[in-house]
Structure 1
Amino acid sequence: MSFRTTPSVDYVEDVSPGSGALPPRAWYASSDARSLSLNGSWRFRLSATAGAEDDSFAEEGYDAGNWAEVTVPGHWVLQGDGAFGSPIYTNHLYPFPVDPPYVPTENPTGDHLRVFDLPSDWPSDGGAVLRFDGVESCARVWLNGTELGEFKGSRLAHEFAVGELLKPGSNVLAVRVHQWSAGSYLEDQDQWWLPGIFRDVTLLHRPSGGAGDFFVHASYDHTAGEGTLCVDSDVDGRVTVPALDIDVATGEPVTVAVRPWTAETPKLYDGVLVTDGERVPLRIGFRTVVLEDGLIKVNGKAVLFKGVNRHEWHPEHGRALDLETMREDVLLMKRHNLNAVRTSHYPPHPAFLDLCDEYGLWVIDECDLETHGFTEQDWRDNPVDDDRWTPALLDRAARMVERDKNHPSIVFWSLGNEAGTGRGLTAMAEWIHGRDPERLVHYEGDWNCRDTDVYSRMYAFHDEVEKIGQGLDGGTRKRRELPFIQCEYAHAMGNGPGGLADYQELFEKYERLQGAFVWEWIDHGVRHAELGYAYGGDFGEELHDGNFVCDGLVFPDRTPSPGLIEFKKVVEPVRIEGDGPNGIVHVTNKQDFADLSALAFEWSCQVDGETVESGSLAVPVLAPGESAEVKLPEPPVDGRGGERQWTVRALLADDTSWAAKGHVVAWGQFAVGARPLPSFPATDRPVPDGGRITLGPAGFDARTGALLSIGGVEVGATPRLDVWRAPTDNDDGAEWQTDTRYGTLWRTLGLHRMRHRLISVEAGDDALTVHTRVAPAAREVGLDTVYRWTSDGERLRLTVSVTPQGDWTVPLPRLGVRFGLAEADRVEWFGGGPGEAYPDTGKASMVGRWQSTVDGLQTPYVRPQENGARADVRWVELGGLRIEGDPEFWFTARRWTTEQLDAARHRTDLAAGDTVWVNLDHGQHGIGSQSCGPGPLPQYFLKAEPAEFSFVFSTTR
């Protein structure tokens, strides 16, 4: 009888951070020391449990020829076409029983093998280290059959000394990766659970006398204009900075005149750390971060963060990002006026921080820590308040700080996210404050600010934020004396976020409010052959949180969403306001450090949305905070009547590292005079002819009053009152906000199933009048609706009068008419554009003449919902019709009905029909950000109250 002993896997459930790894150190590239990337194709074997296979695969000579292959960096569940398991998405619930530190026996375990040849010219002196930049969630490592150790801390670098184990020629690297471990309890971070070796694996030569760890201290004295440089190094050497004529020993401070580093002016000086065995390039940014006068100050000035939270994400590769994808993120941020990023909820790939240094972004670097799932048991057994876990917490803090400490872009260390409070967090804060007193410490969950240098909150409503700005928020004395930021706000899920401009007004009004970070940067959709982009539940997860993982300012393919376009406008660094009739422009520099010398200004004058003249505008080089009034030229002489307006733009005067000359940084529009409203005398009368009534160019059904055609344009469905929209993620709201989830309230009231009762059709002397009542089944509320049609023989006017009946306790989703056209493709309009806008998301909507296709009007939210409305529309042409509004209106046009849009779960559920459905809306309810934050502010409610609005129809054929 024989049996096999199950290998020991006790380390998987050990609360310690691991064993065998070297102490953390700064991440850097060497000018001299060799490196060998071990990225690429690895042999791979997946087991269902941690101890299913013995360790023989790590031995030299093991035959893995029948194993599968995976790409490293990568996640095995995103490879193999489903053969290696599937992603799991949860917001905060652990996808395994909460029994710390234990994890299920069913623990997917991936054995990875990489056979590599050591280059023949690999140096024989010194040593070598093997570096893993990221492995989820627990890894055990062997080289040439010798075990190196094991580690946890998925988004953190771990290095092992391997110099004595390397051999000339072929070498075998073996890595066993477990999806679940004790470390998983510390990584409950509102993202996909994705096991694998997802960051680089690198072999690094460490020459004799080479640099070890070093800390670049580069402060700036704003009163003297001088910087002080001191590089502390484990290995003695010299530091040179040619541009500053610096050549000093390590550990020796030197003070010289410098240009400081800021996110607006990211000046970096190239230097070199030289030891006996190595030269290490340095990129040095001089800046000083302090807490002073109750404010976060950099280089003596309070800063206003206009930031975003950034998870690492790629729709095909998950958290395995290449350099160009990271660069694309940074360039998009800069081009959309963002100045800050919080690395939610873990340190990013270090190359991303290099890019933040280079292009200029303030950074909150966040530790790889979140224990959010313990909230389900009122934080009982929370690891951050359990001394047994403190070494793991301190290890994570140290690995973040030591790896990233030489980046000038980092102004805050964050202890983590949504981990409650406890002794472990205090220990982390104390260690960080001691190790790096030149930066501040952040943690949102510490509302009493025991361990932090800033009062930080998530999703505080506008009224509370204003009270905080006024110092009326209560709390401890220490908290009241600290600056305030919202580390998460404006939840960018689906259509939205709304209310950005209202928040920004508060941030700029109260000094204590130092800005905020939108949640979040990118939709975490997984590219899917059948669904387009998949989200939670699409892989059969036992627990999941649906499309809550798709809450970004850019879509999964990094196309900017309307939310990002809106954010760019709201936080633009130059305010441009004007007095149109008097031709005055008021320009304010809203930057903290930079003047306006990098910008050029231009004006243009539009008549009915078409530019008739343009030119440059001389604006003084304003210092930060300064304003000036500038006179526009005399309005151009133009024989046409119509609506006139000025548009003034601030553009990049020259190419920069992040955008080309002419890139629009900010803009403002202001009217010269009032818009002339469409009007005509009602000269034609309705003419009955059997079952049809003719009125001017239009034909109607004599029995129902339904519009059948205008000129030669057939109307597939008559215009009739419509109040329903496919609820947005923000309409549906967060599950914990039960009293104001308007999507649910609207459905409960029955607004998605309104019925239309015809009361009368009356052909009068000068009008066709159709009287109806629109109401939901089972309810007493309704909308008394009268459609009055008139004509001058060529044009047709519809006036809609709406009177609410009953006790309306909720706002309406929309108020307007919907009709169908048998044929429409090209669309042209005069109004807001080019993208969508709603009452509280319309700052970026620029009035002009715009063109699109019907398909181009759609906004491709990962979960379909109300989208694509163009605001402030004067007229629109489509399908052979021209429609003018009195007053301005919103319009949408789709190849599917609102009901079909509402029923769709993915974009691929929407199939184009034979009818183009057009909505002409007098009103829309606001958007808000109630998918996790506040709903629309009261001023953006669409109340059920009497209303009257008109549309004028004519043909363009």
Structure 2
Amino acid sequence: MSSSYVEDPAPGHGSLPPRAAFSSDARSMSLAGTWRFNLSPSPEAAPEGIARDAFDDSTWGTLTVPGHWQLQGHGKPAYTNVHYPFPVQPPLVPSDNPTGDHRLTFDLPAGWPDEPAVLRFDGVDSCAKVWLNGEELGVTRGSRLPSEFAVGHLLRPRANVLAVRVHQWSSGSYLEDQDMWWLSGIFREVTLLSRPVGGVEDYRLHADYDHVSGLGTLSLTAAEGVLLSVPELGVEDLPAGRPVELAVEPWSAESPRLYHGEVHTAAERVPVRIGFRTVVIEDGLLKVNGRRVLFRGVNRHEHHPRFGRALPREFALADVLLMKRHNVNAVRTSHYPPDPYFLQLCDTHGLWVIDECDLETHGFGDLGWAGNPSDDPRWGEAYLDRMRRTVERDKNHPSIVLWSLGNEAHTGRNLAATAAWTRERDPSRPVHYEGDFECEYVDVYSRMYADHAEVDRIGRRDDPNERRRSLPFLLCEFAHAMGNGPGGLLEYRELFERYPHAQGGFVWEWLDHGLARRDAAGREYFAYGGDFGEQIHDGNFVIDGLVHPDRTPSPALAEFAKVFEPVRIGASAEGVRISNHYDVVGSSHLVFRWTFEDDGVEVAAGELAVPEVHSGQSRDVPLPRLPGASGEGVLTVRAVLAADTGWASPGHVVAWGQLPVTPAADPVPAAVGAPLLRERGLLRLGPGAFDAATGRLVALGGHRVEGPRLDLWRAPTDNDRGSDDPEATQWRAAGLHRLQHRVAEVDGQASALVVRTRVAPPGLGFGMLTEYHWTADGDRLRLRVDLEPAGEWPCTLPRLGLRMAVPGGFGGVEWFGAGPGEAYADSRQAARTGRFSSTVDALQTPYVYPQENGNRADARWLRLTSAGGAGIRIEGEPVFDFTARRWTSEDLDAARHTVDLVPGELVHLNLDLAQHGLGTASCGPGVLPRYRLHAQKASLTLTFSPITLEGAARWPVRPRSASSRTRTGTVSGTSRSSGSACAWSA
């Protein structure tokens, strides 16, 4: 059987012209379910005659459709970001081309009408030939686009045989080099549709809105005899081509008003939902219904950790609800049209959408774009075909405000022609494409990963290109959300609000694309590139979302929600200032509730009377009547939903702000006066016991501890490892991951212990002079650490603080400070001041690729306790950051998956003065200068107190032997010295 069609650069053949996606009262039949399946290593090795009724498929296996064969035990997934996983010789593909044969035998339901019918495939990756009852229907290409075939003349009541031969690689693969897993098969719905004679073949709804008059203009484009009825608007049997003007409520992402109606003929009725809105570019601004919009957006791939792109509908809904609850207002459908159901959800719940064509040729960038199909006339019809199918399928969705030609396909005549066709076919929506750097054929200026300085220049219109200066500006990708980060979101938002034509952007990306696997012990983890034995892969670059693979929000999503909250709550001279940053709506849907806390304990609460605040305006209201505070008094005001919205319940917090009312009292330092005692190799000072040789704390009130001592290392984040000159590489070159501690002096004074050390990496001449100054009263042990760099430091510091270890039973955590989630220097807007409780285990953020995580900021005090209540308390003068884990930073650094992290017998505690920022250098700018941590003179003061209960275990403390103080060990195959870990010995 010939497979020459696989390498044909033209579109597929045999399918019907593209049309709008819709359902109707006509009969339909889903063909989803269990199909017979056989995988061959190549087209030539595939069996002959699979389309024949008599073909024997009894020896074949089975496959669930929709689904990918690689996720059902046939072959393996592979991940690349840019590189094609096959030799680049367009349009040719390898002879070793896995070919999956699918067969389904089905009966027609009783009463199936004897009339035309259509067989619809919503997504097949990457190329397929289709037969029904032995007759070839045609060939599909364009994996994430629909194909329909006329089949009414071939159907029979019983034993219809549908055969589909799917090829993993085809000429279409050159146009589908998106940053995602290579997965094959029939991954979207397959449906048999009855098409009644005289029915609705296709239609286009026009629902414009005039923001000046408040009137909408409604019309229908369809074949003669097709009518439109919208009872709610008094529209009955409106013929196609006849506009009608009506008083309507407009549709927006903030107020997604939809009118329900029907497009109908005597033979068929199609339910429709109509949203009135007008999109224009005016005065260099993108406006919807006369208002500038600010895209607080995300890029979204379709992905599920078990089903890949065969995404069940409940997970599409989960995505939309999570987005709305976290103040996301826009989605770019990277880099292909989504399942149509997702767009229905965007219409319903309200999201601005950039609908993107199924097109990317990124791998040609490795070849200097030589041979790129975007400028090769052989591929011209394929480009147009993909865009036609995108636009025709999705044209009736009010949520779509921009068409996008595709992604990272450079530029050329085929893209220009596609833009021209799109603009002519649908002049109601502007055209987007980031790769048109000169903006010759697009309507908006779009960039990826421009740093803050560049966005500022663009915002100031400091650009020699006049065309670019005149257009609205979007960051179609920014703030790469890979691992711990991104940092710098706040500064982007400030630029978007400073410059009107800088109209926001789309974070890359929504979801980590991890695939669920189990290790030998049966523990589940999420796999990424290389975990399936791929020869060419891009590692964990596919793990770069605001949401973990199981759709658990990451800390970055909370940060996004806070930074881009549509209402800003702050202080003013009159009391509380409420600023409305919605694009359209006022504040009437919100209730403003306040709480007042004294040292983190709520002492009063109420509701703040806030008159309507219109979009773009602010209003000051007086402070509520507050009680006095004995400690630090903080007023928190929350804007919550007043009523159910469909995406969240009443009381859901949309925005919040905190106002300091009573400043914190100065910390009361531990009194100096407890004498220093010596006994059998130990020094005792108040509740503390120290090793006499090293001056290191080994017990606190009978609780055995290890440390604290200076620590400068963190397990690098994805952003630390990113960029052309990664911070993590500089840190390792400077030896910060293997610091050694030399004790210069242990100075036991009458009522103090002073330990002087030099902390430095081996083989290098710089270091940190560190002085630990201990004093105590009866039950409080105070430490002041003075730090001074020695020599010339070649790089920034990952962190600056102390590391210690405490018993593993101290698993309960309570603190007064910033929380409840993790916070870092340039990603801390979501952290509020309060009193929080958790566990050591719950403090961890399980990033798919383990890395620094879990830092809590600005702690006034911290308690670590056992189930029985024993533990330690640490107080800051005034504050400190902390992390608490059951593994060391070295364990975290060595791990590649979450299952590599095995809890130990200790809780490892970092008490930090500061950490280096996060940035977004995994793909984008690094850490802004003000968040970079440099070696400098510094001081950190903490007070330690034991929490002991009657009957709590109290262990005898013995001095370490010399060997235990200098031992080396290995963690997960990485050698480390005692200078970089808290050792534990009896």
* Both proteins in one fold, TM over 0.5: yes
For the Cα contact (< 8 Å) 2:449–2:925, is it kept in 1? yes
Correspondences of 1:850-869 after superposition (within 5 Å): 850-869=836-855
Determine whether 1:725 maps to 2:714: yes
Q: Determine the C-alpha separation between the residues in 2 that align with 1:827 and 1:799.
A: 23
Contact 2:670-2:943 at 8 Å conserved across structures: no
Matched, 1:446 2:436: yes
Query: Which AA in structure 2 matches 1:858?
Result: Q
Match of 1:827 among 788, 813, 835: 813
CA drift of 1:635 comes to 2.0
- Contact kept in structure 1, 2:574 and 2:620, CA below 8 Å: no
Q: Is 1:796 matched with 2:781?
A: yes
Aligned to 1:569: 562
Task: Identify which of 733, 736, 749 aligns with 1:764.
Answer: 749
Give the AA of the match of 1:788.
H
Amino acid paired to 1:266 = P
Corresponding residue for 2:702?
A: 712
Matched, 1:430 2:416: no
Q: Tell me the residue number matched to 1:4.
A: none
Per-residue displacement from partner, 1:403-437 (whole Å, max 9, x unpaired)?
A: 00000000000000000000000010000000000
Question: CA contact under 8 A between 1:235 and 1:275: conserved in structure 2?
Answer: no
- Distance in structure 2 (CA, Å) of the matches to 1:692 and 1:805: 30
Does the residue aligned with 1:168 lie in a helix, a strand or coil? Answer: coil
Aligned partners of 1:220 and 1:227 also within 8 Å: yes
1:495 aligns with 2:484: yes
| Equivalent position of 2:120 in the other structure | 131
The alignment status of 1:929 with 2:920, answered yes or no, reads: yes
Deviation of the 1:674 alpha carbon: 2.4
Q: What does residue 296 of structure 1 align with? A: 286
Task: Please name the residue that 2:860 is paired with.
Answer: 874
1:753 aligns with 2:738: yes
CA contact (8 A) 1:115 1:170 kept: yes
Summarize deviations over 1:258-303 as a string: whole Å, max 9, x none.
0000000000000111113101111000000001000000000110
The answer as to whether partners of 1:119 and 1:169 remain within 8 angstroms in 2 is no
Alpha-carbon offset, residue 157 of structure 1 = 0.3
For 1:608-661, what per-residue CA distance to the aligned partner results, in whole angstroms no more than 9, with x for missing partners?
Answer: 1111100000011111011111111232135xx211111000000111110000
| 1:28 alignment counterpart | 22
Aligned to 2:455, the other structure's residue is in SS state helix
Quick check: 375-384 or 882-891, which moved more?
Answer: 882-891
Is the 1:307–1:339 contact (alpha carbons within 8 Å) kept by the matching residues of 2? yes
Matches of 2:345 and 2:175 in 1, distance apart?
28
- How many angstroms does 1:54 deviate by? 4.1
Cα deviations across residues 886-918 of structure 1 (Å, max 9, x unaligned)?
231110011111001000000000101111100
User: AA paired with 2:652?
Assistant: H
| AA aligned opposite 1:732 | R
Matching residue's letter, 2:525? G
Superposed counterparts of 1:498-897, under 5 Å: 498-530=487-519, 532-579=525-572, 584-638=575-629, 641-678=630-667, 679-715=669-705, 717-733=706-722, 737-739=723-725, 741-823=726-808, 824-879=810-865, 880-897=871-888
Q: Deviation per CA, 1:832-890: give whole Å up to 9, x if none.
A: 11110000010000111111111000001000000000011111100400001123111
- The alignment partner of 1:184 has SS state of helix
Give, in whole Å, the separation in 2 of the partners of 1:837 and 1:133: 43
Alignment deviations for residues 449-472 of structure 1 (CA, whole Å, 9 cap, x no partner): 011100000000000000100001
Describe the superposition over 1:664-699 as per-residue Cα deviations: whole angstroms up to 9, x where unpaired. Answer: 000001211322232232121211223111101111
Cα drift, residue 53 of structure 1: 2.3
CA offset digits 1:80-115 (Å, max 9, x no partner): 2xxx11000000000000010000001000000011
Amino acid in structure 1 at the alignment position of 2:338: P
| Pairing partner for 2:901 from 899, 904, 910 | 910
Q: Cα distance, 1:794 vs. partner?
A: 1.4
The answer to whether the Cα contact below 8 Å between 2:747 and 2:753 also exists between their aligned partners in 1 is yes
1:48 equivalent in alignment to 2:48:
no
Q: 2:755–2:772: 8 Å Cα contact kept in structure 1?
A: yes
Q: How far, CA to CA, are the matches of 1:912 and 1:194 in structure 2? A: 35
Partner residue of 2:68 out of 65, 75, 95? 75
The whole-number CA distance in structure 2 between the counterparts of 1:730 and 1:690 is 48
* 322, 338, 345: which one aligns with 2:312: 322
Of 345, 351, 356, which residue of structure 2 is paired with 1:366? 356
Contact 1:212 1:235 in 2 (8 A): no
Task: Choose from 27, 31, 34 the match for 1:38.
Answer: 31
Contact residue 583 and residue 633 of structure 1 kept, 8 A: no
Q: Distance in 2 between matches of 1:529 and 1:141?
A: 36
Distance in 1, Cα, partners of 2:907 & 2:860: 20
Matched, 1:253 2:238: no
Secondary structure at 1:900's aligned position in 2? Answer: helix
- Offset at residue 235 of structure 1 (A): 4.6
State how far apart, in whole Å, the 1-side matches of 2:635 and 2:770 are. Answer: 39
Shift, 1:781, TM fit: 1.2
Match of 1:16 in 2: 10
Alignment match, 2:983: none
1:944-955 equivalent positions in 2, closer than 5 A: 944-955=935-946
* Structure 1 gaps, min length 5: 1-6
Equivalent-residue separation in structure 2 for 1:274 and 1:616 (angstroms): 50
Q: Secondary structure at the match of 1:71?
A: strand
Q: Does 1:281 align with 2:271?
A: yes
After TM superposition, list the pairs within 5 Å mapping 1:222-233 onto structure 2: 222-233=211-222
Q: Distance in 1 between matches of 2:446 and 2:495?
A: 16
Normalising by structure 1, report the TM-score.
Answer: 0.97
| TM-score, normalised via structure 2 length | 0.94
Per-residue deviation at 1:238? 1.4
CA drift of 1:766 comes to 2.6
Superposition misfits of 4+ residues, deviation over 6 angstroms:
none
How far off its partner does 1:57 sit?
Answer: 1.2
Q: Tell me, in whole angstroms, the C-alpha distance in 1 between the residues paired with 2:665 and 2:799.
A: 26
8 Å CA contact 1:58–1:174 kept in 2: the answer is yes
> What amino acid is aligned across from residue 157 of structure 2 in structure 1?
P
Deviation at 1:250, TM superposition (A): 1.4
Q: 1:458 to 1:629 in 2, by over 3 A?
A: same
1:217 paired with 2:206, answer yes
Name the SS for the 2:719 alignment partner: helix
Distance (Å, rounded) in 1 between the aligned partners of 2:106 and 2:858: 63
Q: What code does the residue aligned with 1:259 have? A: E
Contact between 2:734 and 2:794, CA under 8 Å: does it hold in 1?
A: no
CA distance in 1, matches of 2:662, 2:721: 40
- Structure 2 SS opposite 1:393: helix
> Cα deviations across residues 219-273 of structure 1 (Å, max 9, x unaligned)?
0000000000111013522111011101211111001000000000000000111
Mapped to 2, the partners of 1:677 and 1:724 lie a distance apart of 31
Residue identity in the other structure for 1:793: G
1:354-386 alpha-carbon deviations (Å, 9 max, x no partner): 000000000000000000000011100000100
Q: CA deviation at 1:151?
A: 1.4
Partner of 2:379: 389
Q: Is the 8 A contact 2:228 2:239 kept in 1?
A: yes
Q: Equivalents in 1 of 2:247, 2:405: separation in Å?
A: 34
Per-residue Cα deviation, 1:711-756 (whole angstroms, up to 9, x for no partner): 12110x21000000000000001xxx323x1011101111001110
Please name the residue that 2:146 is paired with.
Answer: 157
SS in structure 2 of the partner of residue 771 of structure 1: strand
Please tell me the root mean square deviation across aligned C-alpha atoms, in Å: 0.9
Amino acid in the other structure paired with 2:620: E
Q: Which residue of 2 aligns with 1:179?
A: 168
- Identity in percent: 59
- What is the DSSP-based 3-state SS (H/G/I as helix, E as strand, rest coil) of the residue aligned with 2:50? helix
In 1, the alpha carbon distance for the partners of 2:820 and 2:353 equals 32
**Separation in structure 2 between the aligned mates of residue 768 and residue 263 of structure 1, nearest angstrom:** 63
Q: Is the Cα–Cα contact under 8 Å of residues 755 and 776 in structure 1 kept in the other structure?
A: yes
